Structures are given as structure tokens and as C-alpha cells.
Amino acid sequence: MDTPLHHVVIVGSGFGGLFAAQAFAHAPVRVTLLSGTNHHLFQPLLYQVATGVLSSGEIAPPTRDVLKRQRNVRVLLGLVTHIDLDAREVTSTSPLGERRTSYDSIIVAAGAGQSYFGNDQFAQFAPGLKGLDDALEVRGRILGAFELAELSTDDETLDRLLTFVVVGAGATGVEMAGQIAELSRRTLPGTFRHIDPSRTRIVVIDPVPQVLPGYSDKLSRAAADRLESLGVELWLGRKVVDVDEDGVVVEDADGTRTRLEAACKVWAAGVGASPLAAQLAEDSGAPTDRAGRIEVEDDCTLPGHPEVFVVGDLMTIKGYPWVAQLAMQSGTYAARAITRRVRGEEPAPPFHYRDKGMMATVARFHAVARIGRFETAGLFAWGLWLGVHLLYLIGFKNRVSTLMHWVVSFVGRSRSEQAATWQQVVGRNALRREGSPPLAAQPGTDPG
Amino acid sequence: MDTPLHHVVIVGSGFGGLFAAQAFAHAPVRVTLLSGTNHHLFQPLLYQVATGVLSSGEIAPPTRDVLKRQRNVRVLLGLVTHIDLDAREVTSTSPLGERRTSYDSIIVAAGAGQSYFGNDQFAQFAPGLKGLDDALEVRGRILGAFELAELSTDDETLDRLLTFVVVGAGATGVEMAGQIAELSRRTLPGTFRHIDPSRTRIVVIDPVPQVLPGYSDKLSRAAADRLESLGVELWLGRKVVDVDEDGVVVEDADGTRTRLEAACKVWAAGVGASPLAAQLAEDSGAPTDRAGRIEVEDDCTLPGHPEVFVVGDLMTIKGYPWVAQLAMQSGTYAARAITRRVRGEEPAPPFHYRDKGMMATVARFHAVARIGRFETAGLFAWGLWLGVHLLYLIGFKNRVSTLMHWVVSFVGRSRSEQAATWQQVVGRNALRREGSPPLAAQPGTDPG
């Protein structure tokens, strides 16, 4: 008689979860992947969805489609709310109710959410960029701000509507600012009659004194120069201390506060580990870092629980950076470590992150890249960046025609995803005034 | 001294409004186009957005981009709430508040919304297909139903989740049913482990005894045969009398009522004119038809108001069918009639609709088409359909790469737009049970 196969539960369909699932391709295990969405998300390109270059589907292949041929994996929709370490059981929720799934091993790859550093009330005014919902929200706000600016009848309103604030000067912040600049300087001019979209003000704010911290001074300087040549203002060494419907308050190093009127704000700062990390840390007594990430053992397991692996943005180990590569490599590592155990082989050696380099795109034809010790900024780096991303997307079977579409959009002037619905512009737009007339005059319709 | 140019306000950016604006290209007028959305919508392909074939942007080019080179047109975001016929002033609303715009002539092309025949409470359970918001809502529900079916633990729930009801057997109903069939029979199989998506039940319900009324019996029969060969059930001559979260109640000709359990319902029946039609009819005393459309004069003007043109789905004239062609032709006609007047030329002859034929696609490689007296069903009709739609989309400067992408998706097996976010599946999903646990455990994030 056969014993039942070792059952692995994977929480999350991001880089960590998906790479773990794929690494089990030929392993003698059953895998259940639980995720709150039906798709894998290629998060490094999310800012392009937010700025109208790409559609949702182009960066979010259905997880079950990617894993279709791997017969030992089942993919289930469910938001994991609790992991019972003693009972080895995970609770997930869906519109059908709660579901409990027991496991022999578990890989927790639930990823990071946005962190507002204790100011969660900022979220409604400055959405982050973590999932597709966020990206579509931001897209509606950006395009909506230009539409409303065209309607403005006084300079104060006009200036507020044409000022865009990006909080955070890391890769996402730099990329967002670059894309808003391209949108306003290249795509939109000529389409408005009242406003000049190219006079849009874009302000990037970060308490760190340089853009792209984590890159060398040389690359950071190159990115800053390119942004400034696009007219992006860099308010570095300054901290956002308040956000409301109409703007932000910024504090200098010497404590001076300045108010900046801006209708559209995007939060590209702070990352906070999933609430699952807090639950796991509390129940296991594992220490966490300031962002709530779990300090794992050198084999990515939860202290005292060799059957629980924590990977990607949810864990901290040896000071490795929280990049997509770390999630992929730790996900793969966890799957291989479990496979060894199940096969009765020697334990895996400690997890070691292999640094393949970093790259960020600043604007059209301009990126910065580091590969090992080799550094480059400009067109060549942009070509590298494009090639790496194309290869990755092709790996996930996104169609070549989609990729061609992307290359054409990204290199060209126009953008294919500029449709903003009435709901997006009005219903969710933080610009709405109290006391304005009821806006849902024709509910449920998208008036032509 | 110059007199100010004649000012034309166009209400709506659908086929009627856009074609009117374009017909003013060389006219000595100023044009203001007011629309509740920032895009023109190619509504005949909306069902493909709802079923994951196309992205929003692929059928919704920004109106201001389409009209970019026409310097006498300005495009403004605004939902028109009132037209003051005496003062010749239109009121529109936006998040910036109300705006009044006076006109010399006005072309009302506000289009039609969904009609639930007095049962507006059905809308929450069976969304229609009028705008992009609707299409994304329907997409989330369809894909969500399959995801939830995979989680089901009893046959009753499974059957309810895998039963799709399309209310209405006109072109939109037939096209939706055909696409749900293709999705379940061709795209999804192999991606689930618990359910067999190909056993999905699709039921089209309509009180009219044939599909595609308005087409000949021969074409109607051809479409019905093709749908039945795809396993679609046609409940014709039967009327939907109730809709709730879990299903519909259907009444036969003899009054017998049957309940059909179905989690996902799409409303492709009933069209109701925009509330503006009611206001115009009341203020002018013009008669309306049962759907609320205004009976216009033979030059498409509102009785007693030669400066007010009503075009497209909002008006009824000489029994012409409410198709995209009617909106385009009446929009163009109205613009030319105004141009003649402004130029002091003879009045335009009465509006005459030129019937260019009709076509509807049923499934991959199968459409029905009538051009003049020539009728065809099958592959050739599908080729015609594809060609006509390609030409139209190219006309609106959607990029060739986008079109290639569309052809590849539509002919091929997979679909590029299958990403459904947690919000889409859970927040708006009518399948949600009362008493289920709080679902927004991680608000604002799209858990990986």
C-alpha cells in the first residue's frame, strides 16, 4: 500500500510562490498553491499598467495556466488568514467561506504590502503600487487629473491638478516619475485645448539623499540627471509628514515644513510584510525586523519549525536585498530543500543568494544597470533591461504578439491603455469635493 | 469685426457623438464634446473585454486622441445632467462641480443604457454590458465563478457555479454565450484539477422565439445551430421574471415557472434611452417610444427645436434599427445639417438610413452576415466580420500591433486578459454569502 504523498502548501503566487511550485515539477510531493488572486503578477512592470502602457493581462498570466502541465500542483483561490503551526493547518477564506488545509510542509511566500509607517490614513489619498487594483486606481487618478485640469477655471486648481507627487525615490518611485514625465511630455501634448500637459510638475520626495539607494553613487547620479533633464523635481533628504486630499506636507532636515498642493499622489515608499508574518512571529517567537519581516534560519525556515519555510519579501536573512531575484531564489531553494527531505537525501546547504545584478529603467532609452561589478547607464542599459524583461515574460508564455505590442508602445509615443471609466475618475477619485452634486446620476451605465 | 463662431455642443463620445465631431472637420464652427468618460467605446467588441480576449484600451481609444488634429473641437469630461432648451444651455457635472455651457446648436448622442424593464433590483445580480466598468465586472464574475467552483465541496454549489445564464438572445447575448462556451471548452480545460470546465452549462433565455431577431430565419437558424453544437442551451419563448443572487426564475408561454440555479448571470436584454431623453421629451412635449426614445422630426431634430439634434440610440425615426451604423450615420447627418445652416446653404434633405447590412459573430470561425440581400453564415461571414472590425479599429489609430494581438488571441486558444483581482472576485461578487468572515483582511493589498 502506498503512503499518501507528502503535501506541500504554498502561500502566494508571486515570484517566491510560483518559483517554488515550478521547482517541484519532478518531486514526489503533492502541492497546493493558495493565492488571493487568480494570477501571477510581474510586479516590476506594474508601474507601466499604472501609466497606461500595458494592460493588466500583459503582466498577470493566470497562475493555473502557468502551472497547467504540472499535474502535481493544484491552484486554489483563497486569502490565507491563519497558519496553525501546531496542527499544521492553514486557514484561507473565499466567498464560499473558510477552508482549512493541512500540510506536511509549507512555504509562506505571501509577499509584502504597502506600509505607510503607521499613517494608514494616507492610503486613501496616496495609493501604493502593490497589486493590479492599485495600478488601475493610480491610472484612473493620473489620467483623471489631466481631464479635470482641462476643466479648471482658476490657476490654483490648475496647478494642484497638474502637480504629481511620487513619495519614494527607489526603483518604483523613479520609474513612476519617469513614466508620468513621458506621458505628460510625449503622449498627451496636442490632445488638450485649455491646458499644456507638458508643464506638468512632477516631484519625487524621499528622506534618503539619493535616488535609487542600493545602486552606486555613479548610477544613482545618472538616474537623477536623466530625471532632472525630463523636468522631474527631486526633493531628497525631505520627508512627507502629512498627506491629504489636496496635497502633502514635507519636512526638511532642519524641521522646516512646506506644504505642496498636489491632487495626485502615489506612494512608492515603505514596504510592510504581510500580516501573516506577524502571526507566524508571534506564534513561533521568531524575531522580526522593523518592517515586520521574519528573521529566518539559514535554510529559510521558521526558528523551531523546520517544516515551515518563509521566502521572499516576508523574511530577512544575511542582509540580502528584497528584490524579485531573492524571492525567486529562496522559493526555488525551499522547494528543493523539501524535495531532499522527502527523498531522504542529505539536508540542503544553507541558502545563499546569488546576486545577478540590478536594473531600473528611468525613461525611454535610459536605464541603469549593474551586473556583477559592471555598471552602465543609458541606452545600453535600457537594451539590457528590455532584453531581460522580454525573456522573463516569454518564459511565462505570454504571447509574442503581446510582447511586440509592448515594445511598440514602450518605444513609441502613444499608449494603448488610456481608457478611464466614469467610476474610475469620479467614484474613486480623491479630488471629489464634498457638497458636489450627486455624481451617480446614471448608475451602472458608462455614459457614452 | 468677426462674429463669434457658431458653437455646437455634442453630448456623448459614442458612435453618434464621435462621427458628428469628425464631420465638423472643415466646418466654420466651434465644437465642444462633453462625455462622461475619456474614451470612445467600440461597443460591438465589449463582450470580448468581458470574456478576457481584449483589454479595455484595445476597444477604447481616448476621445481627445482620436480628435487631436481637429483644432475646432475641444473634448471635456462631464456627465450631462440637464439641457435647458429655452436658455440653450447644457449642465454637466464632474468632480470639480457643475459646469454650464451655452450652445447655438446641440447634438444629443448620449446613447442607451441597460433597461431591466422596471426591475432595477436585477442589476446587482445580472450586470449588463454597456460600458467598460460593466465589462470588467462581468469578466471578474465569469472567471471568479470558475475559481470558486474549483473550491466547491458539494455538487449543488458546483452546479450553481458552473451554470451561466445570458438573458437576451440578440447579438450581444449570442456573442456572450459563444465566448463563454469557447472559454470553457477551449481555454480553461487542463488548468483545473477538481472541476471540468468543459461541462459548464450555458443557458440563453429570451421571450422571442428565435436568436438574433432582425436577421432572416435562415441566419437565425444557422446561429442557433452553431450555439447548440457548442452545447449552449437556448431557452427561447421563455421570460426571466426574477433574478437573485443564486439564480433566475423563468416563465414559459403557458405561465409555468421554473427556477434555474446559476451564480453568474449577464443581462444582454433591454435597452433604455438615457435619462436625458426623458428630460428633453418632457420639456419639448415630444413623444417617445416604449424604450423612452424620442420621436424626432425627419431631420433628426427635436420637435419645435430645430437647433437640437437627437441621434443614435436616443431617437426613433422611420423604424430604423438601433445599430452602430444608425448612430454613425445620424451623427454625421446632424453635423452636416448644422454646417449647411451655418453656411447659409439650403436645408439638408430628410435623414435617410443607408442599410449596409448586419453581422454578428457566434464563435471562432463562425459568424452570420447580411449585406444587402446577400446572406452568409460560417467561415466566410466570420472573415467578413473580422475584416470590417479590423478596418474600423485601424481607422481609430489603434496600433497594428494591437490588432495583431487581437487576431492572434481571437483565433488562438488562450486569452491574454484573464487577471481577476481579489477586489473583482470578492468585493463585487454577487456570490458572497452573508455571514461569511470579513474578507478584506489585508485591505488595499492584492495578496500575492
Say if residues A12 and A324 touch (Cβ distance below 8 Å). Answer: no
Q: Which position among A175, A182, A297, A417 bears the catalytic label?
A: A175
- Secondary structure of residue B22 in the 3-state scheme: helix
| CATH at residue A143 | 3.50.50.100
The answer on A264 and A280 residing in a single domain is no
Note whether residue B357 is domain-resident.
no
**Do residue B149 and residue B257 come from a single domain?**
yes
For chain B, percent helix, then strand, then coil, each to nearest 5? Answer: 35, 25, 40
Contact flag A98-B437 (C-beta cutoff 8 Å): yes
Whether residues A164 and A241 share a domain: the answer is yes
Does the beta-carbon distance from A97 to B190 stay under 8 Å? no
- Asked if residue A402 belongs to a domain, the reply is no
Residue A11 counted as domain residue: yes
- Mark whether B145 and B259 lie in a shared domain: yes
Judging contacts by C-beta atoms under 8 Å, the chain B residues touching residue A408 are 399, 401
Q: Are residues A13 and A44 in the same domain?
A: yes
Gap from A431 CA to chain B (nearest CA, Å): 7
User: CATH number, domain at B91?
Assistant: 3.50.50.60
C-alpha–C-alpha distance, residues B273 and B290, integer Å: 10
Which residue among A283, A315, A343 closes a domain? Answer: A343
CA distance A346 to chain B (A): 32
Element (H, E) at A93: strand A89-94
Residue A404 falls inside a structural domain: no
Alpha-carbon distance B264 to B53, whole Å? 19
Question: Cβ contact (<8 Å) for A55 and B58?
Answer: yes
CA distance A242 to A23: 44
Domain that holds residue B300: 6-114+272-343
Judge whether B171 lies within some domain: yes
User: Could you report the per-residue pLDDT of A310-335, keeping only the tens digit for each?
Assistant: 999 999 999 998 889 999 999 999 99
B72 in contact with chain A, both atoms CB, cutoff 8 A: no
Confidence band, pLDDT 50/70/90 cuts, at residue A98 = very high
Q: Which of A315, A343, A371 is the last residue of a domain?
A: A343
Q: Do B79 and A133 touch (CB under 8 A)?
A: no
Q: Which residues of A touch B444 (CB under 8 A)?
A: 113-114, 123, 127-128, 130, 134
pLDDT over 90 percentage in chain A: 71
Q: Contact B74/A408, CB-based, under 8 Å?
A: no
Distance separating alpha carbons of residues B373 and B353, to the nearest angstrom: 16
Q: What is the C-alpha separation between B61 and B111, in angstroms, rounded?
A: 18
For residues B258 and B124, state if they share a domain: yes
Return the higher-pLDDT residue of B52 and A395: B52
CB contact (8 A) between residue A444 and residue B134: yes
Domains in chain B: how many in total? 2
Mutate to test the interface with B, among A41, A56, A121 (most CBs of B within 10 A): A56
Cβ-nearest to B447 among A274, A429, A446: A274
Contacts of B140 in chain A (CB under 8 A): none
Rg (CA), chain A: 23
C-alpha cell at A216: 552606486
Pick from A220, A261, A272, A221: which is nearest to A111 by CA? A272
Q: Choose among A80, A94, A418: nearest Cβ to B148.
A: A94
Contact B37 A447 (CB under 8 A): yes
Between residues A421 and B117, the one the model is more confident about? B117
Beta bridge partners of B258: B250
Q: B154 and B221 share a domain? A: yes
B168 CB within 8 Å of a chain A CB = no
A121 reaches B (C-beta below 8 A): no
Give the whole-angstrom CA distance, residue A135 versus residue A51: 8
Cβ pair B78, B34 in contact under 8 A: yes
One DSSP character per residue, A216-239 reads -HHHHHHHHHHHHHTTEEEEET-E
Determine contact, residues A334/A300, Cβ cutoff 8 Å.
Answer: yes
Q: What is the per-residue pLDDT for A392?
A: 78
Contacts of B326 (CB under 8 A, 6+ apart): B312, B313, B320, B353
Beta strands in B49-192 (DSSP E): 73-77, 79-84, 89-94, 97-102, 105-108, 112-114, 163-167
Which are the catalytic amino acids of B?
175
Nearest one of A263, A264, A308, A265 to A283, comparing CA atoms = A308
The reply to whether residue A447 touches residue B110, judged by beta carbons under 8 angstroms, is yes
Torsion of CA B74, B75, B79, B80, to 10 degrees: 30
ipTM of the complex: 0.89
Greatest CA separation for chain B: 80
- For residues A358-394, b (16+ Cβ closer than 10 Å) or e, as one string? bbbbbbbbbbbbbeeeebbbeeebbebbbebbbeebe
Point out the residue among B39, B420, B432 whose CB comes nearest to the CB of A419: B39
Q: Tell me if B100 sits within 8 A of B81, measured CB to CB.
A: no
Spell out the residues 6+ positions from residue B145 whose beta carbon is closer than 8 angstroms to its own: B161, B162, B164, B263, B264, B431
A5 in contact with chain B, both atoms CB, cutoff 8 A: no
CB A274 within 8 A of CB A111: yes
CA triple B140-A143-A233, angle to 5 deg: 130
Position B423 in a domain: no
The verdict on B107 and B146 lying in the same domain is: no
The pLDDT, as a whole number, for residue A436 is 34
Residue B85: burial class (beta carbons within 10 Å; 0-12, 13-18, 19+): middle
Q: Who among B41, B193, B441 is closest to A448 (CB)?
A: B41
Quick check: A76 contacting B, CB < 8 Å? yes
Closest CA to B108 of B334, B319, B338, B286: B334
A416 within a domain of the structure (yes/no): no
Asked whether residue A10 falls in the same domain as residue A51, the answer is: yes
> Which residues from A are below 8 Å from B278, CB to CB?
none
B-facing residues of A in 265-304 (CB < 8 A) are 274-275
Cβ–Cβ below 8 Å for A426 and B95? yes
Look at the block and give the residue holding cell 493558495. A34
Indicate if B237 and B134 belong to the same structural domain: yes
Q: Is residue A262 helix, strand or coil?
A: coil
- The three grid cell numbers given for residue A127, joined into one nine-digit string: 495609493
Helix or strand (DSSP H, E) at B180: helix B171-182
Given a cut of 80, whether residue A172 has pLDDT beyond it is yes
DSSP state of B114: E
pLDDT tens-digit series, residues A253-290: 999 999 999 999 999 998 888 889 999 999 999 999 98
Place of cell 516619475: A177
Minimal CA separation from A366 to chain B, in Å = 23
Nearest neighbour of A402 by CB, restricted to B113, B416, B432: B416
pLDDT by 10s per residue, chain B, length 448:
467 899 999 999 999 999 999 999 999 999 999 999 999 998 888 999 999 888 888 888 899 999 999 999 999 999 999 999 999 999 999 999 999 999 999 999 998 888 888 888 999 999 999 889 889 999 999 999 999 999 999 999 999 999 999 999 999 999 999 999 999 998 999 999 999 999 999 999 999 999 999 899 999 999 999 999 999 999 999 999 999 999 999 999 999 999 999 999 999 998 888 889 999 999 999 999 988 999 999 999 999 999 999 999 999 999 998 889 999 999 999 999 999 999 999 999 999 999 988 899 998 889 999 988 899 999 999 988 888 887 777 766 555 556 666 666 666 666 777 777 666 666 544 333 333 333 233 322 333 2
Residues 6+ apart with CB under 8 A from B373: none
Cell of A74: 493544484
* Domain limit, last residue, from A343, A373, A397: A343
In 3D space, the residue among B18, B7, B14 whose CA is nearest the CA of residue B332 turns out to be: B18
Domain co-membership, A102 together with A31: yes
* pLDDT at residue number B107: 98
All three cell numbers of A171: 526603483
Q: Is residue B421 part of a domain?
A: no
Other CB atoms within 10 Å distance of the CB of residue A289:
12
The verdict on B187 and B235 lying in the same domain is yes
